[in-house]
Amino acid sequence: MEINSEGTDPVVVSVTGEVDLATAPQLEQALADGLGQPGATGVRVDLSGVEFMDSAGLRVLVAALRKAEESGRTLVLDAPHERVRRIIEITGLAEVFGLADRA
């Protein structure tokens, strides 16, 4: 997995590769760093390069969303790969992340 962060408002966290039990802590740290940036109102997570995500990755995204909401910031999932989108839909998280309204 590779993670790149850029910008400040919103912070864009681009993720490529697989997000699983072994790599989820890296994503968790990147999202925490992004949400902790002074002046940032939120984080946009570019998932277009992620072809696989397991429950560990979903846990990280849900925890980051909660942290963002608690601090008055936003967390937006951007362009999830079709496989990742399907996992999000199957688990019932599409509405939580606002993906249900986007085709």
Q: Is 58 domain-assigned?
A: yes
Is residue 43 situated within a structural domain?
yes
Per-residue pLDDT tens digits for 37-82:
888 899 999 999 999 999 999 999 999 999 999 999 999 999 999 9
Burial grade of 9 (CB within 10 A; 0-12, 13-18, 19 or more): exposed
Residue 95 lies in a domain: no
Number of domains in the chain: 1
In a domain, 96, yes or no: no
Q: How far apart are CA 60 and CA 19, in angstroms?
A: 10
Does residue 102 form part of some domain? no
Domain containing 54: what range?
Answer: 2-90
Contact in structure between 29 and 12 (CB atoms under 8 Å): no
pLDDT over 60 (residue 103)? no
Residue pair 24/57 in contact (Cβ under 8 Å)? The answer is: yes
Which structure tokens are listed for 99?
A: 């993906």
CATH number at residue 74: 3.30.750.24
